[in-house]
Structure 1
Amino acid sequence: MSGADVDRLEPTPEWVGDEVAAERFPSPEDIRAALLPEEAPDFDAAYEAALVAARKTLHLDELRHVLRAWRRVALMTEQDPDAHRRTLATIAEVQRTGRSRPGSVSWNDLKAELGL
């Protein structure tokens, strides 16, 4: 059964860590508890928006997508909180200044280098 389990609601994991993350953080409560305190409001907003979408559409796709994405963040945070904090700081700096970090390459350049 490729791409979905028997109820055709849960897609096959797209990232090798998705299965580990789903086992480690099975509930929204578990996900939120693993996040850095500064990320909890972003999780809360994304989760609430996904619940609203589920109520309106009667589909769980958006909710599943949000939980999968935040499980990934929770797993990365749990594995190396300091590295995750550095990543967040880098993102904030790039957003604040509008400039890429020294030594970084654009997505288009990276794809070309990889032959994609």
Structure 2
Amino acid sequence: MSYDYAKQRGWIVPFTGNLTVTRDDEGKIFRCGDTANVTVTISNDLPEGFNCGFVMYNTGTITLAASPHVVNRSAKTALSTQYQTGSIMVMQRTGGNFGVVADIEYLTGGDFA
């Protein structure tokens, strides 16, 4: 599968600037082309098993930030070198039914430090 095909299908999503990951981003790979540092916020609407990936494709840094009721259990939050890659996976979700805010726990993998 070519990069252009994956990009057209929405699987690889180029971005610059800050970003918020939502449930609509399941399975996507976010490719950051920013030379500045960016913040990726993990929202609390993600389902258990949700996963997505990140690639720092330029010279900035991607830093993960948690919304309220979101906990990064691996505590690794940054891709700070060009071409580093990493992913997140939601491992647990509690609450969130009938207007109750969900509590999300996720892990990071790859080059996150």
Q: TM-score, normalised by structure 2?
A: 0.23
The structure whose residues are more often strand, as a share, is: 2
Greater Rg over alpha carbons, structure: 1
Q: TM-score, normalised by structure 1?
A: 0.23
The structure whose residues are more often helix, as a share, is: 1
